[in-house]
Amino acid sequence: MTISDVKLDPYDYDFHEDPYPYYQRLRDEAPLYRNEELGFWALSRHQDVLQGFRNSTTLSNKFGVSLDPASRGPHASKTMSFLAMDDPDHLRLRTLVSKGFTPRRIRELEPRVTEIATRHLDAMLEKVRSSDTAGTVDFVDEFAGKLPMDVISELMGVPEADRVQVRAWADGVMHREEGVTDVPAAAVEASLNLIVYYQSMVAERRKQLTDDLTSALLEAEIDGDRLTDDEILGFMFLMVIAGNETTTKLLANAAFWGHHNPDQLTAVYDDLDRVPLWVEETLRYDTSSQILARTVAGGLTLYDTTIPDGDVLLLLPGSAHRDERAFENPDDYVIGREIGSKLMSFGSGAHFCLGAHLARMEARVALAELFKRISGYEVDEDNAVRVHSSNVRGFAHLPIAVQLR
C-alpha cells in the first residue's frame, strides 16, 4: 500500500461536486487506499475494480453495499434483497425473482414507458410554453425525477392514483442533508410508509392475482420453492433504491454532459438511433453509482498489503471509468466511443444488475422522446444543485432552457 496524503471522504460536499481529481490521485498515488477515520479501504483502478466485482467469494455482499452505518449489517437484505446476499442464498433468490422479472416483461413494458415519458414530457414542455421564465424548467423535477419511479410503479402494478404519493416516499428514502453520515429519521419514516404500502399490495395480490410483476413474483416457483412475502417486499424495496434514483441521475447526467459537449449531440439530433450511444458514454463518463462497498471474507492481499477479514473495501467504478489504463482520453466525453464490457455502471460478475436492460430502455425512450420535441437546450449551471449521497452522483435540480421544434 502506497502512503499518500490524498483523502477520500464519500460524505464530503467538495468531493460530490467533482470526485474525478480525487480519483486520479488515488489511481496514481494510492491504488489501494486506506481511510482510518471512516474505517474502509478503496480500489480505484479499472482492473482492480473489475476483479473486485467478479470476486464474490472473498468480497462479500452479505452486510450490504453501502457505507452508511444504518444500511450495513446482517439486516441489509431486508431492504436490499439479494444484492445484500452471497451464494447460495443470493443465487436462489435471484433465480426465483428472474422468473417474474424477465427480459420479455421489460420488452412488453416499452410502449407503456413511452406513454408515461410522453405524458411527463408534454406537461414539462407545456410549462415551457406558458412560463414567464424564458422557457426554463427543472429537468429533474418535471421529468427525470418522475419517470423512473412511475415506470417501477407501472411494472409492480401500483394504481395510477397512488403513484405521486409512492414517488414522494421513494424520494424521501434517499434524501440526505449536509453533514449527515447516516440514514436520517425522515428517510426511515418514508421507508416504513413504503413497506407498509407494498405489504398491503402483496396481500391484495395473494387474494387476487393480476398481470403485474408483484403477481408474477407471487407465482414464481422452482421445484416447489417460492418467494416469501418478506422476500418479495425486499425485492420491491430494492427496485426503489437501486432502480429509481440511479435512472433519474442517469437522465440528468446525460442532459448535463450533452450540454457541455454540444458537438457530440449534433449527430444525435440528426439520428435518434445514436441515443443508446449517448446513454452508454454517460454511464461511463459520470456513472450514477460511484461507490459500492464489499466486506472482506477471510483476508485479501493486494499491493503487498493484507486487508483483514471483516474490513470494508470500497469499489470505485466512477474512478475505474476514467482510468487511462483502460480508456483512451478518458476525461473526454465521446459519444460512440468503444466501451463494451469495460463498463461497470451495472457491476460485473454474479451481482450484475438485474435491471440493466430496464434502465437502458428507459433512458433510450426518455431521451429519444425528448429530442423528438426539442431542437436544442441550455443548462443553467449556476442554479443546478447536486445530490449529496455517499454512493450516488447526479443532480437534485437541473434547470434547462429548451428550444421547441
Supply φ then ψ for residue 34, to 5 degrees: -125, 130
pLDDT averaged over consecutive 10-residue blocks of the chain (405 residues)?
Answer: 79 92 97 96 98 98 91 89 96 97 95 98 92 83 96 97 93 74 83 95 97 97 96 94 92 98 97 98 97 97 97 98 98 98 97 96 98 96 90 93 92
Coil, strand or helix: which one is 64?
A: coil
Tell me the sheet residues that pair with 60.
Answer: 295
Q: What is the C-alpha end-to-end distance of the chain, expressed in Å? A: 56
**pLDDT score for 1:** 54
In a domain, 8, yes or no: no
CA angle, 125 then 127 then 133, to 5°? 115
Collect all residues with Cβ–Cβ distance below 8 Å to 254 and sequence separation of at least 6: 278, 279, 282, 363, 367
**pLDDT score for 232:** 97
DSSP-assigned letters across all residues of 181-194: -S--HHHHHHHHHH
- Average pLDDT along the chain: 94
pTM listed for this prediction: 0.95
Closest C-alpha to 335, from 273, 277, 388: 277
Q: What's the CA gap between 349 and 55, in Å, rounded?
A: 8
304: number of Cβ within 10 Å: 8
In a domain, 369, yes or no: yes
pLDDT tens for residues 311-330?
999 999 999 999 999 999 99
Task: Retrieve residue 201's grid coordinates.
Answer: 399490495
Burial label, 13 (beta-carbon count in 10 A; 0-12, 13-18, 19+): exposed
Distance (Å) of CA 205 to CA 127, 155, 208, 232, 310: 38, 14, 5, 12, 40
The enclosing domain of 368 has a CATH number of: 1.10.630.10
219: number of Cβ within 10 Å: 13
In a domain, 5, yes or no: no
Collect all residues with Cβ–Cβ distance below 8 Å to 120 and sequence separation of at least 6: 142, 143, 146, 147, 150
Taking the CA atoms of residue 140, residue 141, residue 145 and residue 149 in that order, the dihedral angle to the nearest 10 degrees is -170
Number of H helices, E strands in the chain: 17, 14
Distance (Å) of CA 382 to CA 144, 389, 394, 395: 19, 20, 15, 13
**pLDDT score for 181:** 67
- Domain containing 69 equals 13-404
**pLDDT score for 2:** 53
**pLDDT score for 171:** 84
- What single-letter DSSP state applies at residue 293? E
**pLDDT score for 183:** 75
In a domain, 194, yes or no: yes
Q: What's the CA gap between 253 and 121, in Å, rounded?
A: 17
What's the total number of domains in the chain? Answer: 1
